Chains A and B, each alone.
Chain A
Amino acid sequence: MMRHQAMSRVKTQHSLGAIAVRILRSVGIHALLLAGATIMLAPFAWMISTSLKDYSEVFTVPIRWIPSRLVWSNYVDAWNEAPFARYFFNSAFVATVTTIGQLVFSALAAYAFATMNFFGREVIFTLFLGTMMIPDQMTLVPNYVLLFRLNWIDTYYALIVPWLGSVFSIFLMRQFFQTIPKELYDAAQIDGCSRFGYLWRVMVPLSRPVFITCGLFTFIGSWNAFLWPLIVTNTDRMRTIQVGLSTFMQEHGTVPTLLMAASTMAIMPVLVGFFFVQRQFIQGIARTGLKS
């Protein structure tokens, strides 16, 4: 009897201990993750804080995170110092057209690879995949020379056309198209659906997740592109936001408040947009990252 009681006490103690350990463990994990999250967010917080400070407050020691007075006019001043409206328009226009064009081109090619039986299919597909091995830097000089010959330097063509073909998107779409049963095509054909109609009315709606993934990758890639737009633009008329920001830094590099206001403006659209699509985007990365 006594022994039984003792045992059950030990047991309760043990499970109490187990709960305590579990709580401690959970607290420890969250503490570590929160510390990491703070490091991840601190630079953004620092950027926003500096962008709202009065110039004199930037250089105070110790650092003040919350400005004593919020100087919103930094944004107005930055906006007026450089043609940011034009930069934004250029980036939005280039990213949108690149994304739509690339999705259309990739879907057409992927459709052929996935559903048609034609001469040279495997060879062509392997060659396509081979281009993924080529680093972008390899193509800088040749493409620049070509665009120069075409008189395309400092035009939207230069910013858009070279990026309309994506082996990555073609590959992903092909994988997805292949999972759609062929019987569906036969059925659609009996109902009088043409080959293109089948792609447009059946395949594309069924493949929404893959289109969203490819579209997001392309859009963000295009919006964030730096080296290529830096090379092929040379006037404010054509500069994208990233290149514009870099020129702005060269001219106003010593005024941190304006610089940080400009950076905030350049970063915010992507950050805000990301919160709406983060699930699809991260799942897309996880999926494609593992498959290749």
Chain B
Amino acid sequence: MPVRGFTAKDAARRRRYLKETFTAYLYLLPATVVLVTFHFAPVFYAFYVSLLEWNYISPNPTFVGFANYAALLKDSDFITSLMNTVYYVIGTVPTSMAVALFVAILLNQKIRGLAWYRTVYFLPVITAANAVAIIWFWIYHPDYSGLLNGLLDRLGIPIQSWLLDPKWAMPCIILMSIWKGLGYNVVIFLAGLQNISSEYYEAAQIDGAKGWSIFRYITWPLLSPTTFFVLIISVIGSFQVFSQVYVMTRGGPLKSTLVVVYYLYKIGFEDFKMGYASAMAYALFVIIFTLTLLQRKYIGSRVHYQ
């Protein structure tokens, strides 16, 4: 008797579980269809396309195996775009993080007008990259009417042709990008600083710690999870730079600002070499993925969690 009673209950539970599974799938359906179609399946489809020579319109693409990948390694423009992207990432990320941390520490000193400052520093973050790139395009105007040259001229420094100069074009894009992204890092650092319990500071003060040593031995280690997060997000984001380059330089002059995503755009949507563009997308994916793993392994191990 107890055995039969148990099975009946068990069957009822099973039925309820199946019913709930069915209901849950109905709720998941809309989001899942979109995510699978436009985010998940494309990863596999992109790999298939990367094995083709195809302009997306022709009904018979040519299967070329890994030829696109082999060509990628020999494509000097691709190598250049990779180098330029690395230059951009190294130019943008550390400076932006250092300045943002400095600003966040200033904002964390219980000052008046905190909300106002925070909003002002955040304004460039919420404006579209292509729109602010247009403004900076004129700030960098090569003659005296450009804002930057105008300021330099007043200080007696010789003017430059900025975006028209292969030596200066990339630093110009880097400067604009730091300006644009700074506020985001400030907000995250500020939240991280506010998360550190004041007890640590009080204890350190009792022990006679001052200024720099408080930062070095209390703030910096306790802030490291935040710093690590900002680092990963910034590197991933910087690798995908596009709008600034598209608006200000189109990869020029002399390919000095040719970055990976802009090159991918050009190959895929101006030359319509879909196979080659997909191979490049895969290379970019692998690079970003590897970098994230490496950072997790080498820097992540030194992160200090409270």
Residues on A lying within 8 angstroms of B by beta carbon are 25-26, 29-30, 32-33, 36-37, 39-44, 46-47, 50, 58-63, 104-106, 108-109, 111-113, 116-121, 124, 127-128, 131, 133-146, 148, 161-162, 164-167, 170, 195, 220, 223-224, 226-227, 230-231, 242, 245-246, 249, 256, 259-260, 263, 266-267, 270-271, 274-275, 278-279, 281-282, 285-287, 289-290, 292
A220 to B122, CA, bound (A): 13
A151 to B301, CA, bound (A): 49
Q: Which residues of B contact A274 (CB under 8 A)?
A: 119, 122-123, 126
- State the 7 A-B residue pairs at the shortest beta-carbon distance, nearest first: A165-B34, A286-B191, A142-B42, A118-B24, A224-B128, A112-B27, A118-B21
Interface 1/0 per residue, B258-299 and A, CB below 8 Å: 000100110011000010011001101100110010000000
B interface majority secondary structure: helix
Q: Which residues of A contact B24 (CB under 8 A)?
A: 112, 116, 118, 121
Q: Which residues of B contact A220 (CB under 8 A)?
A: 126
B200 in the interface (beta carbon within 8 A): no
A119 to B285, CA, bound (A): 31
B173 in the interface (beta carbon within 8 A): no
Contact assessment for A43 and B135 in the assembled complex, using a CB-CB cutoff below 8 Å:
yes
B172 in the interface (beta carbon within 8 A): no
B217 in the interface (beta carbon within 8 A): no
The verdict on A290 contacting B192 (CB below 8 Å), with A135-B240, A140-B281, A141-B49 known, is yes
Q: Which residues of B contact A37 (CB under 8 A)?
A: 117, 120-121
Closest to B269 in A: A231
B179 in the interface (beta carbon within 8 A): yes
Kindly provide the distance from the CB of B69 to the nearest chain A CB, expressed in whole angstroms. Answer: 15
| Residue in contact with A145 in the complex, picked from B17, B49, B145, B265, CB distance below 8 Å | B49
| Residue in contact with B39 in the complex, picked from A44, A112, A134, A286, CB distance below 8 Å | A134
**B residues 18-37 touching A (CB-CB < 8 Å):** 20-21, 23-25, 27-28, 30-35, 37
A174 to B46, CA, bound (A): 30
**B residues 99-146 touching A (CB-CB < 8 Å):** 103, 106-107, 109, 111, 113, 115, 117-124, 126-132, 134-139, 143-145
A96 to B229, CA, bound (A): 31
Contact assessment for B243 and A226 in the assembled complex, using a CB-CB cutoff below 8 Å:
yes
A237 to B217, CA, bound (A): 59
Q: Which residues of A contact B243 (CB under 8 A)?
A: 226-227
A260 to B145, CA, bound (A): 14
Kindly provide the distance from the CB of A153 to the nearest chain B CB, expressed in whole angstroms. Answer: 11
Q: Which residues of B contact A165 (CB under 8 A)?
A: 30-35, 38-39
A246 to B128, CA, bound (A): 11
Contact assessment for A135 and B288 in the assembled complex, using a CB-CB cutoff below 8 Å:
yes
Contact assessment for A246 and B21 in the assembled complex, using a CB-CB cutoff below 8 Å:
no
Q: Which residues of B contact A282 (CB under 8 A)?
A: 118-119, 122, 187
Contact assessment for B138 and A256 in the assembled complex, using a CB-CB cutoff below 8 Å:
yes
A37 to B179, CA, bound (A): 11
Contact assessment for A36 and B103 in the assembled complex, using a CB-CB cutoff below 8 Å:
yes
| Residue in contact with A267 in the complex, picked from B57, B131, B147, CB distance below 8 Å | B131
Range, interface on chain B: 35 or more
B204 in the interface (beta carbon within 8 A): no
Q: Which residues of A contact B144 (CB under 8 A)?
A: 59, 61
Contact assessment for B42 and A33 in the assembled complex, using a CB-CB cutoff below 8 Å:
no
A interface majority secondary structure: helix
Contact assessment for A270 and B39 in the assembled complex, using a CB-CB cutoff below 8 Å:
no
The verdict on A116 contacting B23 (CB below 8 Å), with A108-B30, A263-B135 known, is yes
The verdict on A105 contacting B43 (CB below 8 Å), with A29-B111, A249-B247 known, is no
Contact assessment for B106 and A50 in the assembled complex, using a CB-CB cutoff below 8 Å:
no
A133 to B288, CA, bound (A): 9
A271 to B132, CA, bound (A): 12
Q: Which residues of B contact A105 (CB under 8 A)?
A: 30-31, 34
| Residue in contact with A170 in the complex, picked from B31, B40, B115, B121, CB distance below 8 Å | B31
Kindly provide the distance from the CB of A51 to the nearest chain B CB, expressed in whole angstroms. Answer: 10
**B residues 159-179 touching A (CB-CB < 8 Å):** 179
Contact assessment for B188 and A278 in the assembled complex, using a CB-CB cutoff below 8 Å:
no
A147 to B257, CA, bound (A): 30
The verdict on A146 contacting B37 (CB below 8 Å), with A118-B20, A138-B281, A289-B191 known, is yes
Chain B CB within 10 A, most for which of A142, A230, A271, A275: A142
The verdict on A246 contacting B247 (CB below 8 Å), with A135-B236, A290-B226 known, is yes
Contact assessment for B145 and A61 in the assembled complex, using a CB-CB cutoff below 8 Å:
yes
Contact assessment for B43 and A33 in the assembled complex, using a CB-CB cutoff below 8 Å:
no
Chain A CB within 10 A, most for which of B35, B121, B183: B35
Contact assessment for B109 and A139 in the assembled complex, using a CB-CB cutoff below 8 Å:
no
Q: Which residues of B contact A267 (CB under 8 A)?
A: 127-128, 131-132
| Residue in contact with B191 in the complex, picked from A113, A230, A290, CB distance below 8 Å | A290
Closest to B19 in A: A118
The verdict on A43 contacting B134 (CB below 8 Å), with A32-B106, A165-B39 known, is no
Contact assessment for B27 and A109 in the assembled complex, using a CB-CB cutoff below 8 Å:
yes
Contact assessment for B129 and A224 in the assembled complex, using a CB-CB cutoff below 8 Å:
yes
A266 to B37, CA, bound (A): 32
